Amino acid sequence: MAIVFEKTKGLTDKPFHYCPGCTHGIIHRLIAEVMCEMDVLDNTVGVSSVGCTYNNYEYFSCDMVQASHGRAPAVATGLKRCLPDRMVFTYQGDGDLASIGTAEIVHAAARGEKITTFFVNNAVYGMTSGQMAPTTLLGQVTTTSPLGRDAETRGYPINVSEMLSTLQGAVYIERVCLTDYKNIQAAKKAIAKAFRVQQQGLGFSMVEFLSTCPTNWGKEPVEAMEWLKENMIPQYPLGVFKGKDLEV
Amino acid sequence: MAKRVLMKGNEVIAEAAIRAGCRHYFGYPITPQTEVMHYMAKEMVKHGGTFVQAESEVSAINMVYGAASAGERVLTSSSSPGISLKQEGISYIAGAELPAVVVNIVRAGPGLGGILPAQGDYFQATKGGGHGDYRNLVIAPASVQELYELTVKAFDLADQYRMLVMILGDGTLGQMMEPVTFKEKEDTHEIAKPWATNGMHGRAKHNTITSIYIDPDDLERKNRELQDKYALVQKNEVMFETSNIEDAEIVFTAYSTCSRICKNVIRQAAELGIKVGMVRPITLWPFPSEEISRVADMPSVKAFLDIELNAGQMVEDVRLAVNGKKPVHFFGRMGGNLPTQKEILDQLVKIHKGEM
């Protein structure tokens, strides 16, 4: 009988531990599918970071390195400089990348490191139970902004893609979401483009994924997806911030 | 032909690393080790290697983590405040069992302290400056020639035990120029690293480098494996040098720069009729406890005098090794000052007369 659908070989058989309604699983599958379609699974080293995806080295079936909090771009720099013909990617959340790891991501991008960063922005710290992240929206209630994030005492959200796109070493930066089939397909295209930018040695590439965290947002999965559309996209507009006209 | 040249200690460290096959250097500027970095910036490119000036010591040590994961020989160097910043990465390197060489050209602390030589990082280097139960193999050369030979050896030890080897120098050693004889060919052995995450390239199973074990039994098992490895290092890799031990009445314990001052004092003391010897630890971890214990058992030995550029750090390990068998005295200078030969001789005379 003909096989009409099978799980991508880019993922192992280990079941995901992610909460219902979380989009990490979709992002993992898209990255894994792209690695297989580009035939680079055998030639890729990924870097896991700290947060809900600390152990995604158990899910991706390529070589993987687990990095300390925020330092994945530095670890990836060390890997890529030693292995210039391999694909190297980091997978980082917003606490990891936009808070403790700002120095590492800014300088990796500024150096034009030929790595790809997958940045998952769900506006909250997931694993440590819903604290305010640098990406938390104004007014958003978290365990460390129980009255809602106020700019006066807690500052403003950081738009990472816009910020990094000002750097000369950053070649391709796009923000996507995963709210429906169309957007998921667009996200997959962005992943493939980011990998091609790296493959062609053009410089630093990053895809930012707006993601849901129903558990820490205190919402049902469907409700969380609606909340993302209504609240996150106005603060974090989708689109290509760097490399729009880049043909790769 | 072996080549004899006059070189600065810091430059010799960099040259030794290149000779040992290290082709990747990641660092951040800090006095008094910056010449390591300058040399690497200039020379690495000639050897087809990597030089990256990182945005911080934190990033530099994580680049080391990445390069070591790729299975490559890798070096970073810094001085005390910078080494404090690297401690997070050093703990992860220990947990992930990665081979790497880290140089600390120690300066005076605490805090920003000063840029002059000190040995105030002995505790940090030997007792684990980062979190968790781990050890670094710590080597303390005493001359520029030793900086060369022991840096080359450090890369072999790092690979052999999959652990971090620290070269612990100080501002004196790093900045000093001395003649050094380079071998024509290095006696160094790069070994296969089937565990490296360098792309599967047909390998059946994907490799993972990690230091996290959520299950307590898994983590305890991992810790026991690490401790077994450290026990092996303690058994096999202790290095020390003894001088004038036979018939010594008083025995110095001193490492690196201090041991050189003490060697001169041994001669001066002999002129005064005081028989003095020395045990110089070359590895600070593993510590030459057995040798010090053996010396403490010698009937001729009446006392130990430990000399350091700190408030008394290695002396704790000396006391543990002597274990109360003989008195252990201490004299140290701090802030970047070195003890004079006269200051040390005065201590010896007092001990000899039974005044302390």
Distance from CA of A191 to the nearest CA of B (A): 19
**Is A75 within 8 Å of B198 when comparing Cβ atoms?**
no
Domains and CATH numbers, chain A: 24-242 (3.40.50.970)
- Comparing CB atoms, the residue among A48, A86, A106 nearest residue B198 is A86
Identify the pLDDT of residue B128. 85
As a whole number of angstroms, the distance between CA A33 and CA A14 comes to 16
3-state helix, strand, coil in chain A (%, to 5): 40, 20, 45
**Residue pair B61/B89 in contact by the 8 Å Cβ criterion:** yes
Residue numbers in B near A42 (CB within 8 A) = 199-202
Mutate to test the interface with A, among B23, B51, B63, B211 (most CBs of A within 10 A): B63
**Is A82 within 8 Å of B198 when comparing Cβ atoms?**
yes
CATH fold for domain B3-236: Rossmann fold (3.40.50)
Q: Is the pTM of this model over 0.90?
A: yes
Q: Torsions phi, psi of A207, nearest 5? A: -115, 125
Hey, is A117 helix, strand or coil?
strand
Closest CA to B6 of B152, B187, B145: B145
Identify the pLDDT of residue B11. 98
As a whole number of angstroms, the distance between CA B224 and CA A199 comes to 42
Mutate to test the interface with B, among A58, A62, A79, A80 (most CBs of B within 10 A): A79
Note whether A9 contacts B: Cβ–Cβ < 8 A. Answer: no
**Residue pair A66/B212 in contact by the 8 Å Cβ criterion:** yes
**Residue pair B55/A107 in contact by the 8 Å Cβ criterion:** yes
- Comparing CB atoms, the residue among B66, B72, B206 nearest residue A74 is B66
Confidence of residue A1 (pLDDT cuts 50, 70, 90): confident
Distance from CA of A70 to the nearest CA of B (A): 10
B72: closest chain A residue by CA: A82
Identify the pLDDT of residue B295. 98
Residue type, A232: M
Q: Do domains B3-236 and B241-352 have the same CATH topology?
A: yes
Identify the pLDDT of residue B2. 83
Angle, vertex CA B182, rays to CA B180 and CA B183, nearest 5: 150
Identify the helix (H) or strand (E) that includes residue B328.
Answer: strand B328-332
Residue numbers in A near B197 (CB within 8 A) = 45, 63-65, 79
CATH fold for domain B241-352: Rossmann fold (3.40.50)
Distance from CA of B277 to the nearest CA of A (A): 46
The tens digit of pLDDT for each residue in A62-99 reads: 999 999 999 999 999 999 999 999 999 999 999 999 99
**Is B67 within 8 Å of A41 when comparing Cβ atoms?**
no
Strand pairing partners for B182?
Answer: B3
Residues of B with CB under 8 A from a CB of A: 24, 26, 50, 52, 54-56, 58-60, 62-72, 74, 88-89, 92, 96, 197-202, 206-212, 214
- In terms of C-beta distances under 8 Å and separation of at least 24 residues, what long-range contacts does B183-188 make, across chains too? B183/B2, B184/B1, B184/B2, B184/B3, B186/B19, B186/B20, B186/B21, B186/B152, B187/B152, B188/B19, B188/B20, B188/B21, B188/B152, B188/B155, B188/B156
- The number of C-beta contacts closer than 8 angstroms across A and B is 135
Residue type, A62: C
- Comparing CB atoms, the residue among B74, B197, B211 nearest residue A63 is B197
Note whether A57 contacts B: Cβ–Cβ < 8 A. Answer: yes
In terms of DSSP H, where are the helices of chain A? 24-37, 72-82, 94-95, 102-110, 151-154, 160-164, 181-199, 214-217, 221-227, 233-235
Domain ranges of chain B: 3-236, 241-352
The tens digit of pLDDT for each residue in B306-336 reads: 999 999 999 999 999 999 999 999 999 999 9
Residue numbers in B near A44 (CB within 8 A) = 199
Cα–Cα distance list, B338 to B72, B133, B334 (Å): 38, 33, 8
As a whole number of angstroms, the distance between CA B344 and CA B75 comes to 36
pLDDT under 70: residue ranges of chain B: 1
**Is A63 within 8 Å of B58 when comparing Cβ atoms?**
no
The tens digit of pLDDT for each residue in A131-142 reads: 999 999 999 999
Cα–Cα distance list, B294 to B242, B288, B298 (Å): 12, 10, 7
Identify the pLDDT of residue A35. 98
Residue numbers in B near A65 (CB within 8 A) = 65-66, 69, 197, 208-210
Residue numbers in B near A43 (CB within 8 A) = 199-201
Distance from CA of A100 to the nearest CA of B (A): 11
